[in-house]
Amino acid sequence: MFLACVPVLAHAQAGPQPAGTWLTPGGDAQIRISRCGAGYCGTVAKVLTGEAKDVNNPDASLRGRSIVGVALTRDMRPSGDGWEGSLYNFRDGKTYSGKLAMKGPNVLELSGCVLGGLICKKQMWTRVD
């Protein structure tokens, strides 16, 4: 079983890696992605425009917290040509199944899906550092 997974792990790990700080397409936030265990995790590093509180969180007790430091991606594991895991969207307070894929050394494609992957949205993030 383990040997069957090795080609997938090797393929996802080859080439540019998502660790670093990324600017969202609207230029409203910077997201820091770093290693966490065997995968990657991402947190809000800086809010550049818009609401800086987690006002859309489904947990009312968390709506007053700062967005900075909030985990957006958790344990993104190697899958195919990228990484898969869960994505928290602080703009709507929902968590989606998602993927990260490097589209070059300075471009990261983020996609979030609902309904078992039937409806997906993609964003291209650009590397800050």
Query: Could you give the 3-state DSSP secondary structure of residue 62?
Result: helix
Q: What DSSP state is assigned to residue 14?
A: S
Q: What pTM, to 2 d.p., does this model score?
A: 0.83
Q: Where are the domains of the chain?
A: 2-127
- One DSSP character per residue, 72-125 reads EEEEEEEETTEEEEEEEETTTTEEEEEEEEEEETTEEEEEEEEGGGTEEEEEEE
pLDDT in tens, the chain (129 residues): 333 333 333 344 568 899 999 999 999 999 999 999 889 999 999 999 888 999 999 999 999 999 999 999 888 999 999 999 999 999 899 999 999 999 999 999 999 988 777 889 999 999 998
For residues 75 and 83, give the distance between their C-alpha atoms in angstroms, rounded to a whole number.
9
Residues 6+ apart with CB under 8 A from 55: 63
Domain 2-127 annotated CATH 2.40.128.520? yes
